[in-house]
Structure 1
Amino acid sequence: MARQAHSTRTTTAPVSPGPSPDAEAASARPARNEGLGRILVMVYAVFALSASARSLFQILTHFERAPFAYVLSAFAAAVYVVATLSLARRGRRAWAVALAAVLVELVGVVGVGLLTVLDPQLFADATVWSRFGAGYGYVPLVLPVIGLAWLLAHRPRPEEVR
Structure 2
Amino acid sequence: MASSTAKTSSTSRSTPRSLIPVISTSLNVGMALGAWITVIPFANVAYPGPAVAVWFKDFFKPGFIGITSLSAVTIASGIRSALVRDTSGLAEGQAKAKAASRWAIAGLVFTFIHFGFGNSVLAIMDRILSNPELAQGEMAGWIQLHTVRTLTTDVPAWICFIGALLSEL
User: Shorter-chain TM-score: which interval?
Assistant: 0.3 to 0.5
Structure with max Cα Rg: 1
Instruction: Give the TM-score normalised by structure 2.
Output: 0.41
Instruction: Give the TM-score normalised by structure 1.
Output: 0.42
Higher helix share: 2
Greater RCO (Cα-Cα under 8 Å, separation 6 or more): 2
